Structure 1
Amino acid sequence: MAAQNIDDVVDGLAGIVREAERTGDRVGYFAALYRQVTVEIRTAIHEGLFDDGPRMDRFDTLFGNRYFDAYDAWRRDRSGPRCWRETFGLLDDADTVIVQHLVLGVNAHINLDLAVAAAGTDPGTDIQALRHDFLLINDILARVVLTVQDSVDALSPLLSLLDKVGGRTDERILDFSIRESRAEAWYNAVLLAGQNAAERAATIERLDTRATVLARLIARPDGIVRPALELIRHTESTDVPAVISHLDGATASTT
C-alpha cells in the first residue's frame, strides 16, 4: 500500500488493525497504537496547531509509508529493513509479551524511519524550519502513550513487576523511544538532510543496524528482567483479537 496523504495513512492502519483482529495477528498491537497517534496528529493539523499543516501532512505520509513498505516487504517475502524483520519475526513468538511487541514497533519506527521521513519532507530546503512542529509531536505521542499505558495495565496485570526489577515503570518502557530516541532522530534527520545519496545510504544502514541491536535487546533482555517477563506472560491476556480491540480503543478521540 502507498499513502498519498495522512487520511490514507489512517485508513491503511485501520485496515491492518481490522485484518489483524480477524486473523488474531499480533501485528495489530503496534498498528493500533500507531493509528491512534496518527489520528491525533491529523486532528492537530486540522486545528492549526502546527506551523505548517500541509508540511506535516507530507511528513506523516512519508513516515506512514515507511511502515507500510516494511509491512508489505515482510508479508511478501520476509524482506525489508533488518530492524523491522526482527520486529515482525516475533509476532508468532508466544513468549513475547504485549508491551514488548509495542516497544519493538516503536523502536523500529522511531530509531530508523523517523529521521528518514523528516529529512525527506522538504528536500533541498532548510530542515530547521521543521523543528518546531517535529518537537510538537512529542506532546501528542506522550498523551497517547499515557492512555495506552492504562490499556496495557488492564491487559497485563503484573506489568508493574518491570518497575521493580528493571527500575522502569510501564509508561517508561513504552516511552523509551519517544522521549530519548526522538531527540536522536532529529539529529540524524539534520545529518541526512545535508548528505549526498551515498552518504544517506550509509547513514540509513547505520540506523538500521543500531535499531536491530536494540530490537534484540528488547526481545531477549538480560538479567532479572527475563524471569519477570515470564511471570507477566503467564498472567496477561492471550486473546489476541481482544487485546487489539482494547488497545485500538484506548484513545476516545479516535473512535
Structure 2
Amino acid sequence: MAGTTGMAAQNIDEVVDGLAEIVREATDTGDRVGYFAALYRQVTVEIRKAIHAGQFEDGPRMDRFDTLFGNRYFAAYDAWRRDRSGPRCWRETFGLLDDSDTVIVQHLVLGVNAHINLDLAVAAAGTSPGADIHALQHDYLLVNDILAGVVLVLEDSVGAVSPLLSLLDKVGGRTDEEILDFSVVQSRQEAWYNTVLLAGQTEAQREVTIERLDVRAAVLARLIARPGLLVRPALELIRHTESGDVAAVIAHLDGAMERGSAGRGTG
C-alpha cells in the first residue's frame, strides 16, 4: 500500500488508503507519526468529498494534484523509515517523533510546515506546468477554505487531549488556532508564488528552487521544535498536562471530523 511499501498512489483514493494505513500502524505501535497522518487523512477525505460534489472547476485535475501531493509525503516517509534520508525539512520533522518533550501541536505544525512549505508548490507545479498553472489557481484557493474548516475542528480536538494548549494564547500574542493555522493562510499564499515560479522554470532551475524551499522549511522546523524563551515555560506546562497515550491521541485526532459532523448534525 502507498506509504508503507514505497509504492506510489495512483489516485486520491489510494492516498486516503495509504494515510489510513500509516495511522493504523502508528496507533498499533504508539508512533507519533500518526498525529500528522491523522490530520492529513482528514484533509484528504474532505478534498475528495469536494471533488465528488463538483465543487472544483476541474475534479480530475484536483485528483491528480492531490495524488502528487500525497506521494511526496509517502516518499519522505518511506525514505525516513528506510535509511533516515529524504528532504531536510522532513528529516527535521520525523527526527522529533521519539522526542517526548515535543508537544502534540508541535508535531502537527512540523508536518504542516514541511508539507506546505516544500511539497505543495512542487506538486502543484507538477500538476499544471508552464502557462497552464494559472488555470489551477481557483481550485488551489478553494482548498484553503477546506483546510480552514478542518483546522477549526481540529483545534477543539487537540484542546481535548492537550487541555493547557490555550496557554499559548497568553504568550507571544498567538492563539492555539493561529499556531495550527499558520500554514493554511500565510504559507499557502507564499506556496502559490513558488508554484508559479516552479511551473515556469527549467529542470535545472527547479532543482535549485526546490533546494532553497527545503532549506527554508528545515530552518522553520527547527524554530517550531525549539521556540523562543518566552514560549518555553508554556510548552513545559502543556507537556506535563496533555495526554501521553500516543495511540489514544492518534485515535482522537483521527476522529475529529466525524465528531464535528455528528455535532453539527445534532446541534
Offset, 1:123: 2.9
1:59 corresponds to: 65
Structure 1 range deviating more: 115-124 or 33-42: 115-124
Q: Does 1:122 align with 2:132?
A: no
Offset, 1:38: 0.1
Please report the TM-score for the alignment, with normalisation by the length of structure 1: 0.98
Find the partner of 2:199 among 193, 201, 214: 193
Q: What is the alpha-carbon distance in structure 1 between the residues aligned to residue 201 and residue 159 of structure 2? A: 43
Q: What is the alpha-carbon distance in structure 2 between the residues aligned to residue 165 and residue 52 of structure 1? A: 43
Query: CA offsets per residue over residues 217-242 of structure 1, 9 Å max, x none?
Result: 00000121011101100000000000
Q: Does 1:80 align with 2:86?
A: yes
Offset, 1:74: 0.1
Matched residue of 2:163: which SS?
A: coil
Q: Does 1:179 align with 2:170?
A: no
Q: In the alignment, residue 208 of structure 1 is paired with which amino acid?
A: D
Find the partner of 1:13 among 1, 15, 19: 19
Residues 197 and 38 from structure 1, CA distance in 2 versus in 1: closer, same or farther, beyond 3 angstroms? same
1:208 corresponds to: 214
Q: What is the alpha-carbon distance in structure 1 between the residues aligned to residue 169 and residue 231 of structure 2? A: 10
Q: What is the alpha-carbon distance in structure 1 between the residues aligned to residue 130 and residue 169 of structure 2? A: 45
Q: In the alignment, residue 235 of structure 2 is paired with which amino acid?
A: L
1:158 corresponds to: 164
- Whether the 8 Å contact between 2:126 and 2:199 is mirrored in structure 1 is yes
Find the partner of 2:143 among 137, 144, 155: 137
Q: In the alignment, residue 85 of structure 2 is paired with which amino acid?
A: S
Q: What is the alpha-carbon distance in structure 2 between the residues aligned to residue 251 and residue 125 of structure 1? A: 36
Larger RCO (CA within 8 A; separation ≥ 6): 1
Offset, 1:205: 0.3
Query: CA offsets per residue over residues 184-209 of structure 1, 9 Å max, x none?
Result: 00000000000001100000000000
Residues 121 and 254 from structure 1, CA distance in 2 versus in 1: closer, same or farther, beyond 3 angstroms? farther
Identity %: 82
1:84-123 matches, within 5 Å, as 84-123=90-129
- Whether the 8 Å contact between 1:127 and 1:190 is mirrored in structure 2 is yes
**Paired residues, number:** 255
- Unaligned runs of at least 5 residues, structure 2: 1-6, 263-267
CA RMSD of aligned residues (A): 1.1
Q: What is the alpha-carbon distance in structure 1 between the residues aligned to residue 196 and residue 129 of structure 2? A: 11
Find the partner of 2:30 among 5, 24, 41: 24
